Structure 1
Amino acid sequence: MGAFKTGNYRNFLREIGIPENDIQARIKEAVHTFFYDENERIYHEAGSDMGYLCDTGNNDARTEGMSYGMMMCVQLDMKEEFDRIWKWSKTYMFMTEGENEGYFAWSCQTDGKKNADGPAPDGEEFYAMALFFASHRWGDGEGIFEYSREAREILSACIHKGENGRKGSPMWNHDNHQILFVPGIGFTDPSYHLPHFYELFALWANEEDKKFFKEAAAASREYLVKACHPEKGLSPEYGNFDGTPMDKELPWGYFGDFFSDAYRTAANIGLDSVWFSEDKGQREVPLRMMKFFGTSLEAVRCAYKVDGTPTERPVLHPLGLLSTIAQGALVATTPEEIELAKKWVLWFWNQPLRKGVRRYYDNCLYMFALLALSGNYRIY
C-alpha cells in the first residue's frame, strides 16, 4: 500500500544504516549548494521578487528546470523561492497568444527573452503538480498565487487545446492517453510518463478532466512496461506509442537510444512505487537496470541501445544517471532486491554534487533522488 493511503514515506537511506543526522546534514548542504552557493548554485534571484534556474550547459532557463525548482521548493518548504520562480515563469515564459497560448515557452534567455515559442510537456506537468502541492501546503493566494486555479488551468490547456475553436494542439494523445513529446506530434517520451502525478490530477483537476487523468495513469504504467527492455530495463529517449524506440532520425538528431532524457524513467517508477504501489510490471525496470549495469560505475560512462549494446557516445550526465538508478531502488522489497539496490544507493550517497558547466541536469536529478531516498519527496 502506497504513501498516498498510509502517509508513510520510505526512508531508504536510513534503512541501509545511514544515520538520520547525516541525512539531514546532507540535504541542508545540498540545498545550500544548489540554491545559494555563489560559485555552484543553479538558482538565481532576479529583481526584488523573481528568480530562475539556469541550465548551466546552455545558459538559459528552461521549463524543465523552472518546474523542477518549484517542486524542490514546495518539498523543502521554501515558499519565497517558489513564488519567485513561479512569477518569473509567468512573466517571461507563459504565452498569452498564438498557437501555444496557455502553455510555457520551453526556453528563455536569463534576461527573460524567449528562445522559442513552443512548449515541452514535462514542464507543464511539473508546474501543475508543484502548484497543487503549494496550494495544499501553504494555501492559495491572489492572482497568479492562487496556486490551485493556476494548476487546473494548465491541465485544462494540456488536454483541451484544439477543441471548440481553440488554437493549438493538446499535450496528450486523446486516443491512447499518452503524453506527447511536444503538442501535436506522433510520439512520446517515456521519461515524461508520470502516473503518480496523474493519479493526483484525477483528484484535483477540473471536474471534466478527472476521468481523463485517471485513464492516463493506467495508460502510462502499461506503456512503461512496453517501453522498457524486458531484460535490461532501458528505455529510449523518444518512443513510439506501441513502446518501441523511435526508429527514425529527426531533424534535431536520433533519439531511440538510452540517453539523457531516458535516465529519469527509473526514478519516476521508484517514486510511483512509494506513492501508490500499483504495479503493472514496471516495478521490475529499475532492478533490471541495476543488474545490467553490474558491479562497476564504469558501466555508466557510455550510452546504450535499449537492448544493452554500448555505443561510442559518452554519457553527458553520469551523476544524473547514477542518481536516477539509485532513486529506482525505492521499488526494492525482498532481501535480495534490497541488497542489490543498496550498492547503488551507497554509490549515490558517496558522490558529491557535480561542479562545472554541465552541473544543472545532474544536480537536479541528484536533488530529487536525495529527497526521495530520504522520505522527503511527498504528496501534499
Structure 2
Amino acid sequence: MTQQQTPSETRPYRNRFGELGLGEDAIRSKLEKTWSDLFYGDPDTRIYYPMDPDKGYMLDTGNLDVRTEGMSYGMMMAVQMDKKDEFDRLWLFSKTFLQHREGRYRHYFAWHCKPDGTPLSPGPAPDGEEFFALALFFASHRWGDGPEPFNYAEQARIILRACLHQGEQGEGDPMWDAATKLIKFVPEAPFSDPSYHLPHFYELFALWADEPDRPFWKEAAAASRAYLHLACHPDTGLSAEYANYDGTPAPIQPHGDFRHFYSDAYRVAANIGLDWEWFRADPWQVEQSNRLQRFFRGVDPADYRRYTVDGKPFDEPALHPVGLLATIAMASLAADGPDAADFVRRFWETPLRTGPRRYYDNCLYFFSLLALSGQYRIY
C-alpha cells in the first residue's frame, strides 16, 4: 500500500451493516445522530464540552477528568466525521494543558487533568500519543496544514520523534522498547498493554513519520502483529490488560491486578478487526476474531464479567458491557465464522450507554459504528 492508496482504491471499505440489509440512509442517520448525541446531546449522554473561546474537551464521566485517551479518541472521531472545529478545539486544549514543553516528558502528554486544564498527573500513557499522531496526519491530509499549532503533520512528527528518541540527548525514556520494537505501558515500564498495539497505525507512520524512522515503524507493525499472537489465548482469544513482552500477563502492579481480561483488553478485538480491514496482513487475525466471538457466543451483555485469559469468570461484572459488545462486533471486520453477523446485528440494536460510566463504552461504541459502516477510513 503506497502513501496515495487506501482500501477504497484497492477494494471497498467493508460495510457490515449493509451486509445485514440495512440501507445507506439508515446507517448514515445512525452515525450522524450518534455523533450529535455524544458531542451535543442531553446531559446524560454527551461526553464532549466546548470551552470558550477556542477549546473543548472529552470528559471521562466516571472520573470527572480529561484524559489523553479520550482527547485523542475525540480527535480521531472528528477527523473521520469531517468536523474540523471540534478537532481543532480538542487539539488546542491538549496542546495547551496536557503537552509537556520541557523535562523528561517533553512533547509527551500528561495522561489526565481537570476539565479546566489544571494538571493532575504528569506521566504519559502511550495510547494517547499514537492516536494523537495518526489523527493529526489524517487532519493534515483532509484539511491541509495551517499555522502552528495547526500544522498538523509536523505536530504528529514531533510526537513520534519523542516516542522513539526520548532520552537520547538527555533525560527521559522512549515509548517503544528498542530491542523488541513493542510499545510500553508507560515509558518507564518493562511491559506492555496489548490494547496499545496498533499495527495499522504503524504502517501509516512508516509512510509519514520522519524518513529515518520509517523502517522502525514498519518493523514495529510486524512486531506488534506477532506479539498479539502471544498475548491472545489460543482457545478463548482473551488477553490480559497488561502483558510482558513475551505475551504472558504482567505481574500485579501497585495500582491493581491487570492480569485478566477486563476494560483495557476489550480494545484488542477492535484493533485487530481494523488492522485486518485496512491492511489484510495477517490471516491469524481471522482465526483470532472467530475464536473471541465463539467465546462470547450466547452470553448476554448483562452477564459479561471479568475473566481470566483462559476463560474463567469472576463474580465481578464487566464495568463497560456496551463497550465490550462494541469491540466484539468490530471483530466482525475480520471474523468469517457463524457468529460475526449476529454480533453486528446485536450491536446495531444496542443504544448508547447513558449515566456516569458512559464515556469509555461510548467511545468504543462510536469507533465500532464507524468501522462497521465502512466509515473508519485512511486519509
Question: TM over 0.5, yes or no?
Answer: yes
Deviation string, structure 1 residues 81-104 (Cα, Å, up to 9, x no partner): 000000000000011122111100
Summarize the Cα distance change of 1:155–1:7 in structure 2 as closer, same or farther, 3 Å threshold. farther
| Residue of 31, 35, 39 corresponding to 2:35 | 31
Q: TM-score, normalised by structure 1?
A: 0.96
SS of the residue corresponding to residue 85 of structure 1 reads helix
Distance in 2 of aligned mates of 1:245 and 1:161: 27
Q: TM-score, normalised by structure 2?
A: 0.96
- Matched residue, 1:181: 185
In the alignment, is the contact (CA less than 8 A) between 2:236 and 2:295 conserved in 1? yes
- Which segments of structure 1 move beyond 3 Å, counting only runs of 4 or more? none
- Matched residue, 2:46: 41
Summarize the Cα distance change of 1:299–1:257 in structure 2 as closer, same or farther, 3 Å threshold. farther
Structure 1 counterpart of 2:211, which letter?
A: E
Deviation string, structure 1 residues 60-83 (Cα, Å, up to 9, x no partner): 000000000000000000000000
- Matched residue, 1:209: 213
Q: In the TM superposition, what are the counterparts of 1:274-313 in structure 2 within 5 Å?
A: 274-279=277-282, 281-298=284-301, 300-313=303-316
**How much does 1:280 deviate?**
5.3
Residues 1:87 and 2:92 are matched in the alignment: yes
Percent sequence identity is: 56
Distance in 2 of aligned mates of 1:131 and 1:210: 17
Deviation string, structure 1 residues 328-359 (Cα, Å, up to 9, x no partner): 000034xxx2x420111111011100000000
- Matched residue, 2:372: 373
In the alignment, is the contact (CA less than 8 A) between 2:303 and 2:317 conserved in 1? no
Structure 2 counterpart of 1:365, which letter?
A: L
In the alignment, is the contact (CA less than 8 A) between 1:303 and 1:315 conserved in 2? yes
**How much does 1:5 deviate?**
5.9
- Matched residue, 1:253: 256
Structure 1: 5+ residue runs without aligned partners? none
- Matched residue, 2:201: 197
| Residue of 98, 101, 104 corresponding to 1:99 | 104
Number of residue pairs the alignment of both structures matches: 374
**How much does 1:177 deviate?**
0.4
Distance in 2 of aligned mates of 1:166 and 1:188: 24
Distance in 1 of aligned mates of 2:193 and 2:375: 26
Summarize the Cα distance change of 1:267–1:342 in structure 2 as closer, same or farther, 3 Å threshold. same
Q: In the TM superposition, what are the counterparts of 1:1-380 in structure 2 within 5 Å?
A: 3=7, 6=10, 8-39=12-43, 40-163=45-168, 165-246=169-250, 248-279=251-282, 281-298=284-301, 300-333=303-336, 337=337, 339-380=338-379
In the alignment, is the contact (CA less than 8 A) between 2:302 and 2:321 conserved in 1? no
Structure 1 counterpart of 2:295, which letter?
A: F
**How much does 1:296 deviate?**
2.9
**How much does 1:138 deviate?**
0.4
**How much does 1:298 deviate?**
4.7
Structure 2 counterpart of 1:281, which letter?
A: W
In the alignment, is the contact (CA less than 8 A) between 1:190 and 1:238 conserved in 2? yes
Structure 2 counterpart of 1:376, which letter?
A: Q
